[in-house]
Amino acid sequence: MLLATSVRSNFVYDDDPFQPVTQDETVAVGGVVTLTCSVKENDNSSLQWSNTAQQTLYFGEKRALRDNRIQLVKSTATELIITISDVQLSDDGEYTCSIFTMPVRTARATVTVLGVPGKPVITGFEDAVQEGGKVTLTCTSSGSKPPAKLHWYRDQEEIQGRPDVVESNPDEPTYTVTSELTLTVTRNDNNALIACAVDHPSIANGDKRTEQPLSVLYPTAMSPTSGVDHAVIGGVVAVIVFIMLCLLIVLGRYLIRHKVFSGPRFSQEPADQSVVVGERVVLSCVVFNYTGIVQWTKDGLALGIGEDLRAWPRYRVLRILDVGQYNLEITSADLTDDSLYECQATEAALRSRRAKLTVLSPVIEGSPEILLTAGTSYNLTCVSRGAKPLSTIEWYKDGIIVEGAHTSTEVLADRKRVTTKSFLEIQPVDTDTGRNFTCVASNLAAPLGKRATVTLNVHHPPTVVLSIEPRSVLEGERVKFTCQATANPPIMGYRWAKGGVILDGARESVFETTADHSFFTEPVSCLVFNAVGSTNVSILVDVHFGPILVVEPRPVTVDVDSDVSLNCKWSGNPPLTLTWTKKGSSMVLSNSNQLFLKSVSQADAGQYVCKAIVPRIGVGETEVTLTVNGPPIISSEPIQYAVRGEKGEIKCYIASTPPPDKIVWAWKENVWEKERGTLLERYTVEQSRPASQGGAVLSTLTINNVMESDFQSTYNCTAWNAFGPGTMIITLEETDIVPVGVIAGGSAGSSILLLLLLFALIFYLYRQRKGSRRGVTLKPDIKVETVNKETHSLEEEAAGASTATRMVKAMYSPFKDDMDLKQDVQSDTVEPKVEEYEPKDPTNGYYNVRATTHDEVRTSTRSLLYQEFRPPNPASVSASAGGPVANIHPPPTGRYEPRPTSRMAHNTYAHFNTIARASQIQPPPNPVSKTTDYSGERGLLESTNPLAFDSYAYSTTPQYRLGFAPPLEAGPAYEMYPTGQGVGTSQDTNTGKYPSSAQFPYSTPPTEYSQRHTQRMQTHV
């Protein structure tokens, strides 16, 4: 017993009377295709036609798909014929005819839809070309399927251009073919017709043709006898051409009679053959009188062009061009080679008969591979021939059993052996490449079974992922697009487009460019293609850009009381804000693209501004004019003036849209309706359009030698247009003439007075500035002390005043007239002597200190709290009953060291918390007895103020440095500036040189008063 199995594709069985029979068809776009399916016998089963998507078109005579293009022609028990009209490219593919017997039998018919190429377009020639120059013409035709051929002709004579460039269209399975022709022109090419013709199976030769005349510039100068010479030469050439034409006609008839120039034809076509697995077989194909492309097909699938077929390593074309031989050689045949083969001469549209190659499989050997296309359903067939008893076939997918196969059996002629066939329909996808399908045939004689395995090689269009870096960009920045793709067979190329326009020069997987606002609305697409098809993926760029006007508003003219709609449209990213305003006004009228005004009046006329704001990017605006038609508007002055005895003018300004049709003047018993003229020799009317009035009409009534009666009359200016009249009553009043000399004198005097005032102001400001700087330079032997000579009654009065009143008085106390300035001039060894002066500050406010709070009592002595001007040498300070008086001996040029910057102005801090009253002063513990322990750098209060600060003499008081230095761990309570005498410590208090003064008031513990006011010192330089 011999058990045999095989795996192969769809197969038509000649010995099966129930097997449907179909035929492939070719049709052009827009044509009609007829599909015929027939069987020899029928067991009352219905025939069915299905489309490429496996949707049922007709089941017997019943329509299943509602497509009016598909019509039933004939439906019998053995034949089903339908037609498809107005064929489109989407109708291309395999149509299936099925008969629902047990098992179901199917047959496929391939419908090839030819895309009709468009009329060729010639570009590249716009202007005339100089003789000897080169011109490059480009011919383009799109929409063809398969790709069309382009031919160039010059005056009906074919010329050779560059090889055609074929590109697939991204949106449909058609091609765009481009050909270039480069010519070096001569004067003979002037007015020559260059034609580009399309050659395609879907059209007749010459149906699609475009001609382009050439224009060649060349000099026309010639000798006196050149005309005659040219005529002679032309005659000789004409005779020669005539003779050659006659010879060509005779030769052509001879060649045609002997069939030398007959068209291309097959002299030998492939025949049906049988081959044993592993052997070599050759299918013959010889094409006579043909030099174009020849290709072989297997079950309707093109194997490729050329001698070596890369996708089919065991196939090879044995080509001998001299005799037109294109035989197909198959080495080491296996079961996958059991198919129908056809030889095609594509350029001549010739197809040979189909040859059936039958592969006999006495044993199972090898692991064949099936080439499939993703998304196209396919029937795997496993055949077990000559088995006894009947075999059972099971299917496995990568070792996992698969259900759903259909089985048929056939008893051989010996009535003993049985051939079993199993059909498994699969829908291959991209990831099925390399997947193994195995069929196992077993019976009682071979329980372990015989198996055959097939490996899928699924061809699919590229799978594309398009990315962008960065995701968001500003307009003008660089952006990079990356097109990552996988495909089987390998990728053939990339093509980039923006907004549907192909980007020349972009042919790689990465495209980098500068982004502008158009990338926000026009997607960038990457098309990747291989031999199977193409995949196009698009992406938009998040470009941030300022406002761009998309729809510009147009001027609008309407009648009064009409509704108006003004439109403007901006584009921007991020989303913009839109505002409508009237020019000269900030009131926002609308925030949308449309501004709607209802029942407009003439006051609504004018310019309207449409402004767009893109946050953090930019602003754009545009203006639109609204014109409102209405009655005339007169804008003259109601009272105008003239001089008796002189010429007077009465002006009437009329502004309206449309302009006034008529202007009438009426005064006294006079009425004037003309545009210009003279009445009674004294009155003249003229009309004009001054440019300064924006197009308004000016009608001027001129009165010569103005009289008394002219001032006693009113003047009526009335204007009419299509919308009605407008009127104004004007009164003329008398005025005097001002002499020119008076006007000139008044102007000159005013100018001189103005200059004098200006000089006086400058001098005053200069004196003020000079006086403010007078006290900056201090003499080294001057001691300044301010003394308050307020009477006791004033103090009582201040104590009984309100808080606000006392505060105001304290703030402005340094400027009151009851203060004395005491100045002592003494040496370092002489006791200080105090003199009184008038209340004037010789330091010009250099030491301008704050006043005390309302709860303090004034002291009779004021001293400085802060030292901001420090001389380099120390000075002695002595104490008295009224408080110690410091002798300050600064050098001629002192050193100014400012306090930390205050956030408030000078006058804000004036006189707060700096004057202590004697009645509330407590003497500090361990007072300093030696004046020599005090540095001349000091400018301190000579008695402590408990409201403003605490004395550093207390041991519990924290120690601070001047400024912002951290407190000392040990040592003097105050770090001195270098004086040349070293740093000393008080013998009595052991607290440093400044035991009884608070150098830094911010160290004061918080009190009821110090929380409300901060002690400051105001310094003027």
Q: Write the pLDDT tens digit of every residue in 832-845.
A: 443 443 444 444 44
3-state secondary structure of 216: strand
User: What is the residue type of 331?
Assistant: T
Of 418, 376, 383, 380, residue with least CA distance to 396: 380
Q: Is the distance from CB of 754 to CB of 746 less than 8 angstroms?
A: no
Of 12, 47, 1, 99, residue with least CA distance to 421: 12
Task: Walk me through the domains of the chain, giving residue ranges and CATH numbers.
Answer: 7-114 (2.60.40.10), 121-217 (2.60.40.10), 265-360 (2.60.40.10), 372-456 (2.60.40.10), 459-544 (2.60.40.10), 546-629 (2.60.40.10), 633-734 (2.60.40.10), 772-945+1007-1021 (no CATH)
Of 424, 384, 276, residue with least CA distance to 337: 276
pLDDT at 14: 54
Q: Which residue has the tokens 């009309």?
A: 687
* 263-272, 297-306, 632-641, 913-922, range with the lowest pLDDT: 913-922
Q: Is the distance from CB of 152 to CB of 159 less than 8 angstroms?
A: yes
pLDDT at 173: 83
pLDDT at 465: 94
Q: Which residue has the tokens 């025939």?
A: 47
- CA–CA gap between residue 698 and residue 664 (Å, rounded): 12
Mean local confidence (pLDDT), 367-389: 80
Mean pLDDT over all residues of the chain? 74
Which token pair is 270?
Answer: 């492939």
Q: How many CB atoms lie within 10 A of CB 36?
A: 18
- CA–CA gap between residue 230 and residue 143 (Å, rounded): 48
Instruction: Determine what percent of the chain is predicted with pLDDT higher than 90.
Output: 27
pLDDT at 143: 86
Which token pair is 260?
Answer: 């030398």
> What are the backbone angles phi and psi of residue 448, rounded to the nearest 5°?
-75, -20
Summarised one tens digit per residue, pLDDT across range 722-756 is 888 989 999 999 887 766 677 788 888 889 999 99
Of 18, 83, 67, residue with least CA distance to 46: 18
- Cis peptide upstream of residue 890 (ω within 30 degrees of 0): no
Burial of 795 (0-12, 13-18, 19+ CB in 10 A): middle
* 352-366, 495-509, 755-769, range with the lowest pLDDT: 352-366
Summarised one tens digit per residue, pLDDT across range 390-437 is 888 889 999 899 999 999 888 877 777 788 888 999 999 988 888 998
Pairing of strands 209-213, 869-870: unpaired
Query: Which range has the top average pLDDT, 9-23, 350-364, 748-762, 868-882?
Result: 748-762
Query: Which range has the top average pLDDT, 655-659, 754-758, 1002-1006?
Result: 754-758
- CA–CA gap between residue 851 and residue 788 (Å, rounded): 12
Q: Which residues pair with 596 in a beta bridge?
A: 565
Q: Is the distance from CB of 48 to CB of 56 less than 8 angstroms?
A: yes
Is residue 56 pLDDT above 50, yes or no? yes
Of 190, 182, 139, residue with least CA distance to 164: 139
Give 413 or 694, the one with higher predicted confidence: 413
Give 812 or 463, the one with higher predicted confidence: 463
Confidence of residue 277 (pLDDT cuts 50, 70, 90): low
The angle at the Cα of 739, spanning 735 to 742, to the nearest 5 degrees, equals: 120
Give 254 or 627, the one with higher predicted confidence: 627
Mean local confidence (pLDDT), 650-658: 88
Q: Which residue has the tokens 């058609």?
A: 174
Is residue 965 pLDDT above 60, yes or no? no
Give 999 or 201, the one with higher predicted confidence: 201
- Cis peptide upstream of residue 574 (ω within 30 degrees of 0): yes
Alpha-carbon distances of 844 from 776, 912, 1021, rounded to whole Å: 8, 19, 9
